[in-house]
Each structure stands twice: as C-alpha cells, then as structure tokens.
Chains A and B, each alone.
Chain A
Amino acid sequence: MASITTNGPDNGADRDPVSVFERHRAQMIRDRMVVNVTLGLLFVAFLAWSVWISRFTPDRLATGIPRIFEYFGTVMPALQWDVLFDARNEAGRFPAGSIGYWYNDFWKYLRLIWETILMALTATILGTGLAVVLSFLAARNCTPYPWVGAAARRFLEFCRGVPEILFALILVFAVGIGPLAGVLAITIHATGALGKLFSEVNENASMRPVDGIKAVGGSWFEQMRYGILPQVLPNFTSYALWRFEINVRASAVVGFVGAGGIGAELSHTISFYSDDRVTAVLLLVVLTVTIIDLLSERARHALIGKESLK
C-alpha cells in the first residue's frame, strides 16, 4: 500500500486508491441519479400533459371502453354452422348466418380491391420512375450541380413529408372524386420516400465506374446509366417492391377522402352501418394486405438470394 501512495506527504485515508475509487463511484451514482430523476420527472410531466390535452380522463374512459366492446360485438358476423355454406334460397337470398349472407356484396368488394391494387401498382411504377431520375439529381456524389441537388432534396423531403391522404384530399378537390386523385397522391408520396432511399443508395455507390464512363466521353446521363445504375439496380428493385406493399395499404385508405379504391366503401360502411358488413370489408382488406406482403416479401428474398449467389 505504501509503495503505491508515495506521491505526497499527506498519505491520509482519503488518498488511498480504494477510497478514491469509492468517492468517484458515489459521485457518479449521485450524478446519474440527478439526471435520471430529472428525466423521469420530465417524462411524467409530459405524460400528465398528454393525458390532459387529449382529455384521456377516467370518466371518459369509463364511458368509452364499454362502448368499444359493445361496438365490436355488433359488427361481428352472426355465423351459424348449420347454414354456413348454404346457397341462395328460392327467393334468391342467402339465409341469415351463412357466409353468403355475410359477404352479400362480395363481388363489389372484390372489384374495389382490384381497383385498389391497380392504383398501388400504377403509383409504384410511376413513383419509382420519378424517384430514379430524382435520386440521381439529389445524390451528393451524382448531382450535376450542387444547387440542383439541394433543390431535389428539398422537393423529395416535401413529397414524403406530407401524408398521402392529405395530397389525396387536395387532389380530389382539383381533379374530382375518383381513383385518379389517389394514384397521383400515392405517386407523389412514393416518389419522395423512394427518392430519398434511392439517393442514399447512390451515395454509397462506387464512383470509379463513373470516372471510367466520364473518361470515355460519356454525358452525365451515360455516367449515371452505366456507372451508377448497374451497381444500385438490385437495391432499387428491392425498395420498389417494398414500397408496393406500403402503397397497397395507402391506396386502401385514400378512398376515405374520395380518392378511389376500397377506402370509400370502407369509410362508408364503418360510418353508416354498425353490423357485420364492417368486419366483412375489414377482413378482406387485411387479407389482401397480408397476401401482397407475403408475395412481395418472397420476391424480395428471391432477389436478395440471387444477388448473394453472384
């Protein structure tokens, strides 16, 4: 011990290594305590403020929560096993309790879901095309002029910052009720989201091939087309497929503001009926979204698998 504490005449107990360590430890714990307690208090205060602002009060909950269960009770289909698969009777109606009765409007729903998927597909193709072009302008290593890059990045930020349904609301006013407004709204938002992702992929691409194409006298377009695009294409495809999944979800709700697809039916059914029609539409939408997700995930995995084999 003495050999360690030779650096001063006052070799008191407060200078030996163990007590110095303990002192620092105690100080550290105190400091961390102060920070933690402050943060905890802030968190609680923020929570209390949130409860107050959103009027999430016990009495409202007490009246609200039973109504939730009540509501879900009314929208559940009253299926009966003995007539579940029965066909139309002589009067041309399905017996109550059968699937046919529950999905009386099945073909209408299916047509709308078809429209929803087409909307998402068109918007994905258009959005991907625009995003590819804009991503080359926006990527810092690719942009022909810095100010073009900055402008492109701001534009993409705006496109992905505003939610689809808000664009849809505005476009419905401009071009009228119907799927066109939805397609355009989703295209704009997808362009923004994909454009940002694509430009990040571009920024990670190697610039050597670009130098190579530049040196043969290639124009900016040729430098991008031959120098960057082959490097980033697999990533672009994967992101575009993933975006398609999201766009299907989006195109299922833009109908809430009149922009086509199953959304209008969904909104109308939920707003005006509280019977099994609500669950009928909802279930179809969930099924569609899940199937599209699964298929697209498969495709993406196949794509990635193929890439990793190369």
Chain B
Amino acid sequence: MSTLTFHAISDADIAAARKRHPKAFGDPFVTTLKAASWAFIVVYLIWSLGFFEIGKLLNASDRAWALMTRMVIWQDMAGWQYANIYKGIAQTIAMAFLGTFLGTILALGLAFFAARNTMPVGVIRHGVRRLLDVFRGIDQIVWGLVFVRAVGLGPLAGVLAIFISDTGNLAKLYSEAIENIDRKQVEGVRATGADTGRIIRYGYLPQILPVFISLSLYSFESSTRSATILGLVGAGGIGMIIIERFRAGLFDQVAFVVLNVLVVIAIIDWGSGLIRKRFIGERGH
C-alpha cells in the first residue's frame, strides 16, 4: 500500500473510509447524547448559580477584601487571651476523647446485636440497626444543638453529641468487622474443646480487637475535627471561642485560632498514626 500524507487526504478518501468503517466516524446517537449531557451540566450550573444569586459575590468584593486583610494582619497580639484559646483547644480534645471512649463502650455492646452472626433474631438486629441509622443520619452538629437544648450550653452537650454519633458510626463498623470474621479460626479454637469464654477470648478477640482499636482511633481523629465546630452551636470547645471572637469582629484572632486548630489536628493524626503502626501494624484497617 502506498503512503499518503495527511494533507493529501481528499473528500473522496474520507467518503471511502466512511463507507468501510461507518462507526469510526462517530455514532451520531452517542455523540448527541454526550453533547447533550455536557450541555445539561453547563446549563444546570449556570441556572443554579443564578438561583443562588452568584451576583452577590461581585458586590461582596469590598467586604470580602476587608475580611481577608483583617484576617491576615494581626494586631494587638499581646491581648489575645491565649490561655482561653488553649483551654478551648484542650476542651475540644477532651470532649472528643471522652465522647469516643463512651461511644466505643456502647458500640461494643450494640455491635454484637447488629451483627448477623452474633444476633440471630432478625427483629432485634434490624431494630438496633435502624437505631444506629438514626444516630448516624443526624449530623453531629445537629445532635450538638439538640443536646444544648436538653442539657444547656457547655461541653457536656458536646460530649453527648460526639458520643451519639460515634456510637452510630462505630457500632456499624464493628458489626461489619464481626461479620467478616474468619470462621476457621473460631472452629480451630472450638476443636481444642474450649468453653464459650475461651472461644471468645482466643477465637474472636484476636481477630476483632486490632480492627476495633484501629477504628476507635480513626473515630477519635475525626471527632477532634468535628468537635472543633460543635462550639458554633454552644456545645463547648474551641468552636465557642471561634464564634465569640468572630461575632466580635476579631477576625485576626479567628484566623490564629483556626491555624492552631489545624496544627493540633495534624499532630493528633500523626500521633494516632504512630500508635496504629506501633500496636496493630497496618492491618487494622
């Protein structure tokens, strides 16, 4: 076959190729469908941004600019009440820790009621699962607000909010871990003639304990993140300081607090990563 340059391709050549490989020139249906879906996305975006009044963004440039400059230029740093800030951060960590700890305990109990292989009674299992769905389905900050209404402002509401949502998350994950257990190991222990206690101790625990610890550690990490904002609804922790100073227009202090929180969260992630590596290897998750 002779060679042909690209520029020498004539309409007749195209027609000949199209005749032999009609599909290679694009299926009109597929092409239209693709174009239509892209057009839909673009039209939706334009419409929705109009619906959300994107124009406000342009009008807001002065305010936004003022806000940004005030966040970046830090003034009167001597009077920032650092003790207060770090107490708030400590309270956030304490809330997250206590909430996760209590959540872990309750989840440990509930998980066995939600797992198929440890709870044969369907009604109870589904009941527990739906309860857990409600715990997880409502956002932590909503729980925070609900508990603020119930028990008043302060860290107690925050601990309860973390406790409830962690229970929901952990119990679900725990029950999945229990369901994924390797039956052969349990049977191996049973074959030695062990009683129920020993079967649990040597057959179940070594398999699920590392997973449980790892999950709880993850949960602690994510709770410290989410606990920082619980204060926005008055449920204690650093969020209360952020919103107070924000409302007072002390934007430079807000920026400082947020930076501190980011650093603390990074440290906690790093530390819990170390613990995970040291005690459970990487197989935990």
Whether the complex brings A and B within 8 Å at their CB atoms is answered yes
Number of A residues whose C-beta is below 8 Å from B? Answer: 60
* B63 and A53 within 8 A (CB): no
Give, as a whole number of angstroms, the nearest-CB distance from B219 to chain A. 15
A252-B139, A253-B142, A289-B137 known; A119 and B63 CB under 8 Å? no
A68-B147, A163-B228, A175-B60 known; A54 and B91 CB under 8 Å? yes
Report the Cα distance A216→B216, complex, angstroms. 51
Which residues of chain B from 22 to 79 have a CB within 8 Å of any chain A CB? Answer: 41, 44-45, 48-49, 51-54, 56-57, 60, 63-64, 67
Which residues of chain B from 131 to 177 have a CB within 8 Å of any chain A CB? Answer: 133-134, 137-139, 141-142, 145-147, 149-152, 154-156, 158-160
Closest to A281 in B: B142
Closest to A65 in B: B151
Segment of B95-103, B120-128, B202-210 in the binding face: B95-103
Q: Which chain A residues lie closer than 8 Å to B233 at the CB level?
A: 256, 267
Segment of A86-94, A138-146, A177-185, A223-231 in the binding face: A177-185
Q: Is A266 interfacial (CB 8 A cutoff)?
A: yes
* A54 and B98 within 8 A (CB): yes
* A165 and B57 within 8 A (CB): no
* B98 and A56 within 8 A (CB): yes
Most buried by B among A161, A174, A252: A174
A175-B64, A267-B145 known; A286 and B137 CB under 8 Å? yes
Q: What is the 8 Å Cβ interface bit string for chain A, positions 121-151, against chain B (1 contact, 0 not)?
A: 1100110000000000000000000000000
* A50 and B142 within 8 A (CB): no
Q: Which chain B residues lie closer than 8 Å to A270 at the CB level?
A: 142, 145-146, 149
* B98 and A50 within 8 A (CB): yes
Q: Is B129 interfacial (CB 8 A cutoff)?
A: no
* A178 and B52 within 8 A (CB): yes
Q: Which chain A residues lie closer than 8 Å to B54 at the CB level?
A: 180
Give, as a whole number of angstroms, the nearest-CB distance from B223 to chain A. 12
* A53 and B94 within 8 A (CB): yes
Most buried by B among A166, A176, A274: A166
The contact of B63 among A65, A173, A260, by CB within 8 Å, is A173
Most buried by B among A52, A63, A249: A249
Most buried by A among B51, B95, B150, B265: B150
Q: Is A233 interfacial (CB 8 A cutoff)?
A: no
Q: Is A302 interfacial (CB 8 A cutoff)?
A: no
Give, as a whole number of angstroms, the nearest-CB distance from A7 to chain B. 36
The contact of A46 among B51, B97, B242, B266, by CB within 8 Å, is B97
Give, as a whole number of angstroms, the nearest-CB distance from B218 to chain A. 16
Q: Is A47 interfacial (CB 8 A cutoff)?
A: yes
Report the Cα distance A173→B149, complex, angstroms. 26
Q: Which chain B residues lie closer than 8 Å to A119 at the CB level?
A: 52
* B57 and A49 within 8 A (CB): no
Report the Cα distance A229→B225, complex, angstroms. 32
Report the Cα distance A68→B262, complex, angstroms. 33
Report the Cα distance A278→B147, complex, angstroms. 13
Q: Which chain B residues lie closer than 8 Å to A47 at the CB level?
A: 97-98, 101
Q: What is the 8 Å Cβ interface bit string for chain A, positions 41-80, against chain B (1 contact, 0 not)?
A: 0000011011111111000110111011011100000000
Closest to B158 in A: A54
* B48 and A122 within 8 A (CB): yes
Q: Is B226 interfacial (CB 8 A cutoff)?
A: yes
Report the Cα distance A178→B60, complex, angstroms. 13
The contact of B265 among A64, A67, A161, by CB within 8 Å, is A161
Give, as a whole number of angstroms, the nearest-CB distance from A287 to chain B. 8
Give, as a whole number of angstroms, the nearest-CB distance from A260 to chain B. 8
* A121 and B138 within 8 A (CB): no
* B262 and A121 within 8 A (CB): no
Q: Is A118 interfacial (CB 8 A cutoff)?
A: yes
Q: Which chain A residues lie closer than 8 Å to B236 at the CB level?
A: 54
* B138 and A68 within 8 A (CB): no
Report the Cα distance A163→B224, complex, angstroms. 11
Q: Which chain A residues lie closer than 8 Å to B98 at the CB level?
A: 47, 50-51, 54, 56
Most buried by A among B56, B67, B139: B139
Give, as a whole number of angstroms, the nearest-CB distance from A33 to chain B. 15
Q: Can you identify 29 A-B contacts, CB atoms within 8 angstroms?
A: A46-B97, A47-B97, A50-B93, A52-B94, A53-B155, A54-B158, A56-B155, A60-B151, A63-B151, A64-B156, A68-B160, A70-B150, A118-B51, A122-B48, A122-B49, A158-B262, A162-B262, A165-B141, A166-B229, A169-B246, A173-B63, A173-B246, A175-B57, A178-B56, A184-B57, A266-B142, A266-B145, A267-B145, A290-B133
Given A47-B101, A50-B98, A175-B63, 6 more A-B residue pairs with CB atoms under 8 Å apart are A54-B158, A56-B159, A122-B52, A165-B141, A169-B232, A174-B63
Binding site for B on A (CB under 8 A): 46-47, 49-56, 60-61, 63-65, 67-68, 70-72, 118-119, 121-122, 125-126, 158, 161-163, 165-166, 169-170, 173-176, 178-180, 183-184, 249, 252-253, 256-257, 260, 266-267, 270-271, 274, 278, 282, 285-286, 289-290
Closest 7 CB pairs of A and B: A53-B94, A50-B94, A71-B150, A64-B151, A54-B155, A286-B137, A174-B64
